[in-house]
Amino acid sequence: MTKKARIDPSSVFLVSGGAKGITAECVIRLAQHYQCRWLLLGRSSLEGDEPTWARNCDDEFELKKRIVEDFLSQGEKPTPISVQRVFNAIASRREIKKTLSTLERAGGQAEYLSVDVTDAFALQQKLAVAVERMGPITGIIHGAGNLADKLIEKKTEQDFETVFAAKVKGLENLLSCTNASQLDYLVLFSSVSGFYGNSGQSDYAIANEILNKSAHLVKQHYPSCHVVAINWGPWDSGMVTPELKKAFAKRRIEVIPIEVGTQMLVEELATTNHNTAQVIIGSPMLPQAGELSPELRTHRIHRKLTLLSNPFLQDHVIGGHPVLPAACATSWIASTCEQFYPGHIFFSMENFKVLKGIVFDNTQASEFVMDVKEVAKTDSNEIEFEARIWSENESNKIRFHYNGQVKLRQHSLPVPTYDSFNIASDWAIPGPSLYQNGTLFHGPCFQGVEQVLNISSEKITIQCILPSIPERQQGQFAVQTFNPYIIDILLQSALIWLMQLHQLGCLPLEIKKIEQFQPIPFDKRFYTSMELQSKTDTKVVSNITAHDSQGQAYIRLEGVVGIINKRLNHLFLKK
* Residue 123 maps to a domain: yes
Cβ pair 35, 9 in contact under 8 A: yes
172 & 300 share domain = no
In this prediction, residue 2 carries a pLDDT of: 54
In this prediction, residue 239 carries a pLDDT of: 62
Cβ pair 197, 285 in contact under 8 A: yes
* Residue 102 maps to a domain: no
In this prediction, residue 450 carries a pLDDT of: 96
The one-letter code for the residue type at 333 is I
In this prediction, residue 262 carries a pLDDT of: 95
Tell me the CATH number at 208: 3.40.50.720
In this prediction, residue 574 carries a pLDDT of: 46
Question: Which of these three, 247, 281, 315, is where a domain ends?
Answer: 281
276 & 321 share domain = no
**DSSP per-residue string spanning 361-375:** SS-S-S-EEEEEEEE
Quote the distance between the C-alpha of residue 364 and its chain's center.
34
In this prediction, residue 287 carries a pLDDT of: 63
C-alpha–C-alpha distance, residues 420 and 341, integer Å: 36
Cβ pair 501, 456 in contact under 8 A: no
* Residue 199 maps to a domain: yes
Question: Which of these three, 281, 310, 327, is where a domain ends?
Answer: 281
3 state DSSP class of 64: helix
Residue 548: closest CA among 507, 510, 515, 518: 518
Query: In this structure, is the dihedral angle defined by the CA atoms of residues 537, 538, 543 and 545, taken in order, positive or negative?
Result: positive
C-alpha–C-alpha distance, residues 18 and 96, integer Å: 9
C-alpha–C-alpha distance, residues 308 and 118, integer Å: 42
3 state DSSP class of 509: strand
Q: At what angle do helices 484-502 and 326-340 cross, to 10 degrees?
A: 150
* Residue 311 maps to a domain: yes
Phi-psi region of 147 (alpha: psi -120 to 50; beta: other; left: phi over 0): beta
250 & 367 share domain = no
In this prediction, residue 511 carries a pLDDT of: 98
Q: Which domain does 166 fall in, by range?
A: 12-42+117-281
What is the model's pTM? 0.64
268 & 379 share domain = no
In this prediction, residue 253 carries a pLDDT of: 79
C-alpha–C-alpha distance, residues 369 and 400, integer Å: 10
* Residue 53 maps to a domain: no
277 & 293 share domain = no
* Residue 103 maps to a domain: no
302 & 334 share domain = yes
DSSP tag of 80: H
275 & 307 share domain = no
Q: At what angle do helices 258-268 and 21-33 cross, to 10 degrees?
A: 60
219 & 311 share domain = no
In this prediction, residue 284 carries a pLDDT of: 72
256 & 335 share domain = no
* Residue 363 maps to a domain: yes
- The domain tally of the chain equals 2
Residue 421: closest CA among 461, 453, 464, 463: 461
Q: Please state whether beta strands 506-516 and 226-232 pair in parallel, antiparallel, or not at all (unpaired).
A: unpaired
C-alpha–C-alpha distance, residues 505 and 564, integer Å: 6
3 state DSSP class of 161: helix
563 & 437 share domain = yes
268 & 339 share domain = no
Burial classification of residue 437, based on how many CB atoms lie within 10 Å of its CB (0-12 exposed, 13-18 middle, 19 or more buried) = exposed
C-alpha–C-alpha distance, residues 329 and 371, integer Å: 13
C-alpha–C-alpha distance, residues 76 and 73, integer Å: 7
409 & 552 share domain = yes
Tell me the CATH number at 387: 3.10.129.110
How many CB atoms neighbour CB 59 within 10 A? 9
The one-letter code for the residue type at 213 is K
In this prediction, residue 66 carries a pLDDT of: 92
Contacts of 80 (CB under 8 A, 6+ apart): none
Q: What is the pLDDT along the chain (575 residues), one digit of tens a residue?
A: 456 678 999 999 999 998 999 999 999 999 999 989 999 999 998 887 889 999 989 999 999 999 999 999 999 999 999 999 999 899 999 999 999 999 999 988 999 999 999 999 999 999 999 999 999 999 999 999 998 888 888 999 999 999 999 999 999 999 999 988 899 999 999 999 888 888 888 999 999 999 999 999 999 999 999 999 999 998 987 666 677 777 777 667 788 999 999 999 999 999 999 999 999 998 777 666 667 788 999 999 999 999 999 999 999 999 899 999 999 999 999 999 999 988 888 999 999 999 999 999 988 898 999 999 999 998 768 899 999 999 998 778 999 999 999 999 987 788 999 999 999 887 789 999 999 988 999 999 999 999 999 999 999 999 999 999 998 999 999 998 889 999 999 999 999 999 999 999 899 999 999 999 999 999 999 999 999 999 999 999 999 999 999 999 999 999 999 999 766 665 555 44
* Residue 83 maps to a domain: no
